[in-house]
Amino acid sequence: MFLRMAVSNLWRNKRRTLITELSIILGIIVIVFTGSLTRGLSQSWAMSAVESFTGSMQVEHQDYEKERKFKPLETTLPAGRELVGSIEAFPRVAAAMGKLNITGFISNGDKSTTFFGEGIEVQKMNSTLPKLHTRIAEGRPLGNSSNEVILGKKLAENLNLKLGDSMMLLVRTMKGGLNMVEMILVGTETYPGQNDYVSAHSVGMSLKAAQKLMRMPDRISQIIVSYEDFHKVPEVAVSLQGTLNQKGRLPLVVKDYTKLIPGYEINKFFSLIGVVVGFVLFIIVGSGIANSMFMAVMERRKEIGTMKAIGAEQGTIRRLFIIEGMVIAIFGATLGLVLSIVIVYIVQSIGGVPIPSAPGSSSGPIPIRPILDVGSCIYGVTLSMVVALIASYLPATISSRLDPVDTLREE
C-alpha cells in the first residue's frame, strides 16, 4: 500500500520527479564510468610495463635492493640456469629469463662515461618481455652475436656513436680485477616516462656477454617471470615465494608488478579522487532530492493534515515520504547502473578513449579501454541510497509533525 501510494504521489509532479531522477542517473554514470576508465587506465599502464620491462614478477636475492648501489655483485644468484628452469616449471608460468645488472665505463676512444648495463637472455626476450622491442628508437633489437649492444639514445648521442660503431666497455669483476671488451652498436633505446639520466647511461647486451665480461659464469642478478594470468599475479607471487622458501637454497624474494612499476601506488590516489568526486556529486544530488521532498510537503499540507485528522500516526506519514525518496533513488540508481554498463561496453567496442602517449614516446595516442569496475557500481548505488535516505528524512520528519488543525485551516 505504502509503495503504491509513494509511486502515485511522485507522478503528481512529473517534471520535478524526472529532473531528480535524471540527476541520480547522471551521478551513477559519472561514478561508474570514471571508476571503469580509471581501472582500464591502471591495467593498460601495468600491462604495458609488464610486457616492456618489469615482467609479471621478478625474483632476486632478499638483500639485492639494499645492496644494489654499493655491492651489486655480492647479491647475484649462482646456478642461474637451474634456478630459471625451476621457476619455469611452476604452474602457468609462461616464461622466465635471467638478467645480470652490471656497471662500468664506456668509451668511444675520445670520450668516456659511466654506464649501467643489463645482460638478458636474448632467446627468451620475446616470450618474457614481448614489447621490449618497442623501446627501440633506431636500429634493431639484440641478436645472437655476443658482441652486440644497445645504448640509451642519449648515451649514443653523448658519445657520438652511430649504428655499427664500436666502443670499449671496462668493468670491475666480481673478484676485483678489471676486464675490457669491444662491442658493436646495433640499436638505441628510448625510455618513455624516464629522465635523460637513464637514457644517458643505459647499456643492454646479451646475458652471455655480460657474464663473460664480468667473469661470472652462470650468475644472474634477477629472474624476470612472465605469468599467463595477469589478474592473479599478486597472489601467485606469494605462492611462488613460499615454494622457493621451502627449497631453502637461497634467501630469495618475489616481487610482483605492483611493487616493480614506479609510481604504481598513484592508482590508489586516482581511485580516491573518484570516491571524493562521487561523494560531492551526490551531496548535490541529495540537495535536489531534499528540495523535491520539501516542495512535496508544502504542496500536500492539507492532505497530510487530513490523514492525521483521520488517525494517521507520525510514523506513518514519515514512512510514506521516506519511501517516496527511496523509490526515486532505487529507480534512478537502477536505470543509471544499466546505462553505465551499456556505455562502458559501447566505449570498449569502439576501441576505448584515446589519451596522449608519454612524453618522449614515438607512438601516437593510446586508447584506454574502460573495464567495468564492480566496486564503483556498488559504491554508486549504495551512495545514492544513503543520500536519498538522509535527504528524505528531514522533510519526512517535518511532514509528520504538522498540526492537522492548522493545515486544514489554510486556504
pTM, full prediction: 0.75
Please give the Cα distance from 69 to 5 (Å, whole number).
73
Orientation angle between helical segments 14-49 and 266-299, nearest 10 degrees: 180
The secondary structure of 63-106 as a DSSP string is: THHHHTTT-GGGGPBSSHHHHHHHHHTSTTEEEEEEEEEEEEEE
CA dist 124 → 97, 129, 143, 211 (Å): 6, 8, 12, 16
H or E element: which one contains 199?
A: helix 196-199
User: 353-355 and 366-368 as β-strands: parallel, antiparallel, unpaired?
Assistant: antiparallel
Question: H helices of 224-313, where?
Answer: 233-247, 257-260, 266-299, 301-309
The set of residues, in sequence order, having a beta carbon less than 8 Å from that of 291 and lying 6+ positions away, is none
What the block records as the C-alpha cell of 247 is 627449497
Q: What is the DSSP letter of 263?
A: T
**Of 338, 288, 328, nearest in space to 21 by CA:** 328
pLDDT in tens, the chain (411 residues): 555 655 555 556 677 778 788 888 888 898 899 888 888 888 888 888 888 888 999 999 988 888 777 777 888 898 889 999 999 999 999 999 999 999 999 999 889 999 999 999 988 988 898 888 888 889 999 988 889 999 999 999 999 999 999 999 999 988 889 999 999 999 999 876 666 788 899 999 999 999 999 999 999 999 999 999 988 999 999 999 888 877 666 788 999 998 888 777 777 777 777 778 777 877 777 777 777 777 766 666 666 666 666 766 766 777 777 777 788 888 888 999 999 999 999 998 888 777 765 554 445 567 788 889 888 889 888 888 888 888 777 776 766 666 655 555 555
**Of 120, 122, 129, nearest in space to 55 by CA:** 129
Cell 637451474 sits on residue: 82
